Amino acid sequence: MVATQYTPYALPSTDPTAVHRGVGSLFAAAIVNQQFRKMLLENPEAALQKGYLGKTFILTREERALIVSARARSLSDLARRLTNS
């Protein structure tokens, strides 16, 4: 039996602050937890799949793709790459 992992994606919202809430949660987790931060920078796909404290991050497909492909060396580098895209 093969288990399928569900990855949630954000639904369109009329609330402009809701658009990047998942990215904010992701950065908050990375700031407070060194182990999660290291995983996010070294293996972002695994970090996004695992989530933090049992919760996954609600990201758009575009946000997820940018995070996974960023190859960032630090959180500030990741933030810069996300905001410059």
pLDDT single digits (tens) 7-32: 444 444 445 555 578 999 999 999 99
Separation CA 60–CA 76 (nearest Å)? 20
Q: Name the E strands within 1-85.
A: none
Single pTM value for the model: 0.76
CB 30 within 8 A of CB 46: no
Q: What's the pLDDT score for residue 18? A: 54
